[in-house]
Each structure stands twice: as structure tokens, then as C-alpha cells.
Structure 1
Amino acid sequence: MLFKNLFAWLPADQRKPLLKRLLIVWAVALPIAVTTWMGHKSNGLPHRFDVSLVYSYAISTFIWLFTDVVRYPFKRQLRAQGPYCWPPALQASLMLGVGIPLGYALGTLVGDAYAGWSTWDLWQLNRNRFVGMVASSVAISAAFVGFFYQRAKTESLTNQVTQAQLMLLQSQLEPHMLFNTLAHLRALIGQDTARAHAMLDHLNDYLRTTLHASRQPLHPLVDEFSRLDDYLSLMAIRMGKRLVFELDLPPGLAASPVPSFILQPLVENAIRHGLEPQVSGGRIEVQAQAEGQQLLLTVRDNGLGISELALAESARPLTPATDRTTASWGLTHVRQRLHTQYGTRAGMHISPVTTGGTCVVLTLPLESPHADV
């Protein structure tokens, strides 16, 4: 209750993680105190064990306050981002450069007050020992900060992957498309049995490949194109002559591993926001090509084109509250999946087509067919 009241201003989801980090710091402070006490004892210096405990816990706690807790109230000044409020490298270096020495100094003052002497006198008596004590404290503190940073970074990446997977599940079976397809199928059964059978076959293949691909993060590019072929064939039956599509996959790239469903949101986006609103419909081209060690995947349409607003919104982080009916949803979804899978090795370029429409080019590392597939 005391901890909760003292840190009520902290984000609710960060109070327990912060307390856990403090308990870890305190757990390590005990062996540090024992080591310090034994070191003084072996050198014949008068030093009580309780004094070592006070120094160790005071210094550790103050450094924790100035390097961990301080990130939250000063996150704006530190330009800290994310749920763990870790600042960029420059601000983090400044925070550590000030926080660790300040925490060490205040913790030492508390220890001095308890012991009844001044640690700073050691500078006059034995400068090498004084420098060694300070250096060891700074090194231990920096190691703690590095450990907590890597741990938070790992948890953050895990959360991003989980969120991407949840959003991926939303995009795999788009209810809007399924409902319209089933309604169209019902109408075709009594009017055009052959087209109804063809539509049902494509729907069956589409659902089967969707469920299969959902179990693996990467799959061969040929599977991605096969799924797009089923999807576009379904849409072509629905839209009739208003939709023309072309898929171009060189045989040499068929086995190349790519993230599952990486092209699906782009094609859905092109139809929903580019072609369907046009009375005349339009054309979609999906192409794969290799350039050196890079794989280029292009989705081009001659629809209405993308607005400046959608382009700007596509660069923003995707959240569960983001409306998936907007034109930017599919673009942002793909951008974040590329970043999660490849980091800076992949990218997405969006440009308007001069004759009308939109062109989206994905750049991925060209990896061997056995890479995690």
C-alpha cells in the first residue's frame, strides 16, 4: 500500500515492473555489501557489516531512483517513448552520466551519516582505493541499467510481435469480404451454377491457405501468390469485368521466404479504396523481381489513387483502436510487419501513378528458400 501511494503518479501498468526491478537491485545489494565488508576486513580496516549494508543499499536505491524512476516524470524532457519510457541514446547517456554519480554521492552521504565518518577523507588517505570504489560502483550500476534496458527492449519487441499477430488475425479473414462473397454465392447458385461452383472452389482454397499460413510467420512466395490468385479470382467473380488482375512471379523466386499475408492488405486496400469506388473498376498488377540481394514486391493499380492524408497516416504507429476501414490501415499494417520481421533491412515505398492509381513497392532481403520456412 505504501509503495502504491508513493508512486500513484506512475502509469498503472509500470508500478509492478518498477517494484520488481527495485527488488532485484536490493537482492544484489546484499552480496555487494558482504563483498565490501570482507574486503575491508581482509585489509585490516575497521568496518562493521551493518555499515556496509547501509552504504550498499543507500547507494543502490538512489542510483535506481535517478536512472529508473526519474524516466517517468521527465519523459518529455528525455524524449522517452514506449511504455517503459526509455530515452534515445543521447538523452540516455546524459541521464546515466548525471544519475549514477548523483545517486552514488547521495547514497554515500547517507552511509557516512550512519557510520559517523566521511568517505571523502579516503581521497586524502588512499586515492587509488577511492577511485576503485567509485569505479566499481559505477560499473555495477551501469551493468544493472544495461540489463534492465535489454530486458525492457525484449519485452517491448515481444509485445509488438503479439500485437502484429493479433492484427494479422484480423486481416486474414476479412468479414466484409466473406459476407459479400457468401451473399454473392447464394445469388449465383440459382442463376449460374458453373460460376457458383468456381466461386466456391476459390473460396475453399482461399480459406485453406489462410489457415495454413496463419501457423507460420514465413512461407514461400509462391504460396503468397497462390492465395492472392484465389482472393482476386473471388473478387473478379463478384465485380465481373470491372476487375482485371495480373500476377507475375518468376519461377526462380517462387521458393523465396516472405512474411505470410504481406501482400494481402495491399491488394485489399487497392480494391476497396481504389477500384470499387470507380464505376469502371480497374486493373491490379502484382509483381515480384530480384535486384541484387533484394526482393522487390510491387502492387500497382489504376484506381482513384491515394490521398496525402492516407500517406501521412500510414507512417503512424498502428494501434488496436486504428480503424481498419481507412485507406492507411493496410499500408501501416504492412510497414510495421516488415519492421518487426526485418528491422531496417526492409522498407515500403508508396507513390502515385501518373496515369492514375497507386504503386506500392516492398523491399525485402532476398533470403534462401530454407530460411525459417
Structure 2
Amino acid sequence: MTDHAARLGTKIDWTSKLRHGLQVLAFALAIATIQYGFQPDKPYGPPLIYSVLIAIITWAVIDIGREFFPSSAETGWPKGFAGVGLVAAGIVLGYLLGTTLGDRLCVFYGWFPAGTSGKSSHDLRSSLLITLMAGVAGSYYFYTVNKSAYLTRKMDEARQHASEARLKLLETQLEPHMLFNTLANLRALIGSDPQRAQVMLDHMIAYLRATLGASLATTHTLEAEFDRLRDYLELMAIRMGPRLGFTLDLPGELSQHQVPTLLLQPLVENSIKHGLEPKVQGGRVTVSARREDGFVVLEVADSGVGLSSTLEARPGFGVTQVRERLLATYGTSSAIELIAFPAGGTRAAARFPLKP
């Protein structure tokens, strides 16, 4: 088997070809029925046989033959004169082979006398005209179908690239935000507690190493997301001391689920900055994941001072970033909500479809 033949065998979508063949067959039956309707005094068999044979052979030459042209690999149709020549060859071969086989079958079934075609010159001209018109119309139909599918694929690719670019842009906005906050905390510790500043610097280096390693991808597993949150919370625990406690709860069944990188980071930052830092005794941050009715629900809850009226009316940088990243990845089927607990504290919940 040649390389081209092997490549051809792997590329042909035979299900699609069968669907096209059935459409052509239905079209051929309709043409035969129309011909019979104009000549009801003649048997239905001959127009049916000629119509089906010519149509199927023409379709096979064009629809399967176009796979042999490299230029049709992307659009599904040969470019330039190759496409026109293929249609012409299909119509000519379909007519010649179809009429030859049709003559023999009509003689075999007794519709035509032996040794004749049983068709007048008028019938031959009509048959040739019908073949030409049907071949051109059918080819144009399949050309437009393939062109439409090609444009749809290109639009989907463009949307995907746009979504990826948007996620990358949001991530580049998020990374400096977190980094500047951490450096500010580190600067404060250097003067007051150099030993803790050294430990914090070691944690920050480990965190940045993991972050840079995952920067080439727009998504990672929930397990990786929780690992990076653990690194960040360890950093914050060094600065805040016993005022910060945290719990990470990730079920094993969701550990390999893909999510946008650093999705929960801004929500955890919000809990610390707006919830626990203003509270003298501090508190606890709980990050959890669960499966709920075909959705994944990620929650960041804190026992801080609660949701201020300003943040409740106009969510800040972190919530806005998470909302935009969810929309860019999951569309309108995703959502995020902020809820203030009556006794103090805030819960942020992100919800999006569970994907395999």
C-alpha cells in the first residue's frame, strides 16, 4: 500500500460518505419518479435503473475521488480547476457507465429488445441533459455543505484561540497582583522578623517555581490547584502566625478534574485581605470542592469580619477575575456568588459544569 493510499484510508469518513450516498440515492429516486410521471405509459423500471446507476457512479467518482487531492484536505474540496475537472469526469463517467449498465439490465429484464438500447435519440438527449443538470446541482450542494463545515471549523478554532488568549491575559493580570502582595508582606517581615522572612522567602520561591512550571498551560488539575493554594496559605500563615488557620478539602474523585490555573487564588486572597486581616483574632479559611447535580462547586469560606457593603455592591478585583475566567472557559453555564454569614464571615462559591 502506498503512503497516499494509507493516508487516504485513515482520512476518509465513511459514515459521512454513506450519508452522502443515501442522499444521492433519494435524489435519483425522485428524478426517476418525475420522469415516470411525464411518461406514465412506459414502465417505471428503465428510468429508475438509469437514474440510480448514473447518480451512484457520478457520486462515487466525485465524493470519493476528491479525497485523492491533497488540496481538499482542509476544505473538503479540490481547489481551482481540479475541482471543476473532477465534477466533469464524474458526470461523464457516470453517464457512460450508468447507461451501459442500464442498457444491459433493461435487456435482461425484458424491457428492451436484445441487442438494442431501446432508447430514441430524444431519450438520449434528455438523459444526458438530466445527468448534466443533476450532476452540477448535486456537486454544488455538496460543495456548499463542505464549505459551510469548513467555515464552522475555522470559527470554532478562532473562538478557542480567543478564549485561550483571554485566559492568558487574565492570568498575567492575576500573577503580578498576587506577587506584589506577597513581596509587600515579605518586606514588612524583613525588618521585624528576619528569620520568618527567610522561611517565607523559601516558600515563595517554591510557589513561584510551581507557578512558572504550570504557566505554559491554561488549565491544570484541581489537585495542582489545591497544592498551589497550600503553598500560598503557608506563606500567609508565616506572616499572620496563629491568626490564620486553613483547611483544604478535595475529594479524590475530583482531584484530576481540569480547571483554569489559579482559579481560586483571588478568592483566597480576598478572604485573607478583607475577612481575616481586619479581625484582631484572625480566623480560618476553608477551601473545598464537591460534586453537585452534574456540576463542580468550589467554595472558599472564611470566619472573618464578613462582607462589607462596598464589596457586596461592587465585587472587587478577585471576584471579577474569577467570574471572567469562568465565562471564558465554561460560558454562561458557570456562576459565582458571594454570601455573607449572619454571624460573620463570607462564602464565595464558583459553580461550573462537570466535564469528563
TM bin (shorter chain): 0.5 to 0.7
Contact in 1 for aligned 2:297/2:351 (Cα 8 Å):
yes
Structure 1 residue 335, shift from structure 2 partner: 0.7
The equivalent position to 1:30 in structure 2, one of 77, 81, 92, is 81
Residue 151 (str. 1) matches residue 151 (str. 2): no
What pairs up with 1:312-351 in 2 under 5 angstroms?
Answer: 326-336=317-327, 338-339=329-330, 347-351=334-338
Unaligned runs of 5+ in 2: 1-74, 97-124
**Aligned-residue identity in percent:** 28
Residue 235 (str. 1) matches residue 239 (str. 2): no
Give the TM-score taking structure 1 as reference length.
Answer: 0.52
Match of 2:190 in 1: 186
Match of 1:244 in 2: 244
Q: Which amino acid in the other structure matches residue 347 of structure 1? A: S
Residue 138 (str. 1) matches residue 141 (str. 2): yes
Match of 1:176 in 2: 180
* Per-residue deviation, residues 185-231 of structure 1 (Å, max 9, x unmatched): 3223xxx3443333233223322322233345554544432322232
Classify the secondary structure of the residue corresponding to 1:224.
Answer: helix
Q: Which amino acid in the other structure matches residue 137 of structure 1? A: Y
Label 1:165 to 1:138 Cα distance change in 2 as closer, same or farther (>3 A). Answer: same
* Per-residue deviation, residues 120-160 of structure 1 (Å, max 9, x unmatched): xx999955753443232122122112102202311320232
Classify the secondary structure of the residue corresponding to 2:79.
Answer: helix
Label 1:143 to 1:353 Cα distance change in 2 as closer, same or farther (>3 A). Answer: same
Match of 1:203 in 2: 204
For residues 254 and 221 of structure 2, what CA distance do their matches in structure 1 show? 6
Match of 2:263 in 1: 262
Label 1:140 to 1:364 Cα distance change in 2 as closer, same or farther (>3 A). Answer: closer
Residue 353 (str. 1) matches residue 356 (str. 2): no
For residues 309 and 349 of structure 1, what CA distance do their matches in structure 2 show? 14
Structure 1 residue 281, shift from structure 2 partner: 6.2
For residues 26 and 234 of structure 1, what CA distance do their matches in structure 2 show? 59
Structure 1 residue 263, shift from structure 2 partner: 1.7
Residue 285 (str. 1) matches residue 274 (str. 2): no
* Per-residue deviation, residues 269-307 of structure 1 (Å, max 9, x unmatched): 444455557788664321133458764321123432543
Q: Which amino acid in the other structure matches residue 136 of structure 2? A: M
Label 1:36 to 1:27 Cα distance change in 2 as closer, same or farther (>3 A). Answer: closer
Contact in 2 for aligned 1:256/1:366 (Cα 8 Å):
no
For residues 282 and 127 of structure 1, what CA distance do their matches in structure 2 show? 83
Structure 1 residue 309, shift from structure 2 partner: 4.2
Q: Which amino acid in the other structure matches residue 266 of structure 1? A: L
For residues 127 and 312 of structure 2, what CA distance do their matches in structure 1 show? 71
Contact in 1 for aligned 2:203/2:234 (Cα 8 Å):
yes
What pairs up with 1:49-64 in 2 under 5 angstroms?
Answer: none
Structure 1 residue 266, shift from structure 2 partner: 2.2
* Per-residue deviation, residues 32-73 of structure 1 (Å, max 9, x unmatched): 3324555676769xxxxxxxxxxxxxxxxxxxxxxxxxxxxx
Equivalenced residue count is: 245
Contact in 2 for aligned 1:290/1:296 (Cα 8 Å):
yes
Label 1:278 to 1:334 Cα distance change in 2 as closer, same or farther (>3 A). Answer: farther
Contact in 1 for aligned 2:299/2:348 (Cα 8 Å):
yes
Q: Which amino acid in the other structure matches residue 85 of structure 2? A: V
Classify the secondary structure of the residue corresponding to 1:180.
Answer: helix
Classify the secondary structure of the residue corresponding to 2:298.
Answer: strand
Residue 298 (str. 1) matches residue 302 (str. 2): no
For residues 267 and 337 of structure 1, what CA distance do their matches in structure 2 show? 21
Classify the secondary structure of the residue corresponding to 1:307.
Answer: helix
| Aligned alpha-carbon RMSD (Å) | 4.1
Match of 1:307 in 2: 312
Q: Which amino acid in the other structure matches residue 335 of structure 1? A: L
